Amino acid sequence: MTQRLERRLTLPPTAVLAAACAGVIGEWHRLEPPLEWDAAVAGFPHTEDWLGGVSRLALINCFQWHLEDECRARYDETARLAALKHDIDDSNARRVASIDAIDEQLARELAGVSVDRNEPVALVTPGNLLDRISILELKRYHAAPGGHAAAIVLEQLGDACDGLERLVADLASGRQRMKLYRTIKLYGTSD
């Protein structure tokens, strides 16, 4: 049996990352920024570390959540609805880029991990799971405390956090390997 060396990563524990998401969500709702990206992002400092990347992803998800709420309130206003749909598309592009940036950062840190090419490829990436955690934190914020939905969201959040911890441990030890997949959008193109 080949012994693997586990790579030490600078990625903070999942509980810290989930707390960063919850912090951004709480601050968003305290500030209630306008639904204009440049104005919304101006109220949130950004750093180029793990917490900064995860916080930016949470901010994007907050922004998009509230754009979608605004859409539901404007179904009878065709022009406003079209503008909101365009804003949602732009926001989704930012979200995908943020997920990719998180995965790229982790891939750089994993560059020294010796991985057997026969090990399975992780079918979900840390960026995807952090996106899921961010959205679940949003759902937790919006769910009625103590209600059935809140209990389900808490269970899913716990499972996603546990899954991220296991995935990162597997990647750091070489038990799984990570491929960088770029999200490919095919709607609205002729390709």
Looking at the 3D structure of the chain, how many domains does it have?
Answer: 1
> Considering the domain boundaries, does residue 7 fall inside one?
no
Which residues lie closer than 8 Å to 187 by C-beta, 6 or more apart?
none
Residue 155 class from Cβ within 10 Å (0-12 exposed, 13-18 middle, 19+ buried)? exposed
Per-residue pLDDT tens digits for 82-118: 999 999 999 999 999 999 999 999 999 988 777 778 8
> Considering the domain boundaries, does residue 181 fall inside one?
no
Per-residue pLDDT tens digits for 135-148: 999 999 999 999 99
Contact in structure between 170 and 176 (CB atoms under 8 Å): yes
Residue 2 has pLDDT above 80, yes or no: no
> Considering the domain boundaries, does residue 68 fall inside one?
yes
Task: Find the mean pLDDT for residues 112-138.
Answer: 91
Question: pLDDT at position 183, please?
Answer: 72
Question: pLDDT at position 5, please?
Answer: 46
Domain that holds residue 56: 14-173
> Considering the domain boundaries, does residue 184 fall inside one?
no
> Considering the domain boundaries, does residue 5 fall inside one?
no
Question: pLDDT at position 3, please?
Answer: 43
> Considering the domain boundaries, does residue 62 fall inside one?
yes
> Considering the domain boundaries, does residue 161 fall inside one?
yes
> What pLDDT band is residue 7 in, cutting at 50, 70 and 90?
low
Contact in structure between 136 and 14 (CB atoms under 8 Å): no
φ, ψ of residue 138 in degrees (nearest 5): -65, -45
Residue 53 has pLDDT above 90, yes or no: yes
Per-residue pLDDT tens digits for 8-51: 788 999 999 999 999 999 999 999 999 999 999 998 988 889 99
> Considering the domain boundaries, does residue 26 fall inside one?
yes
CA-only gyration radius of the chain, Å? 18
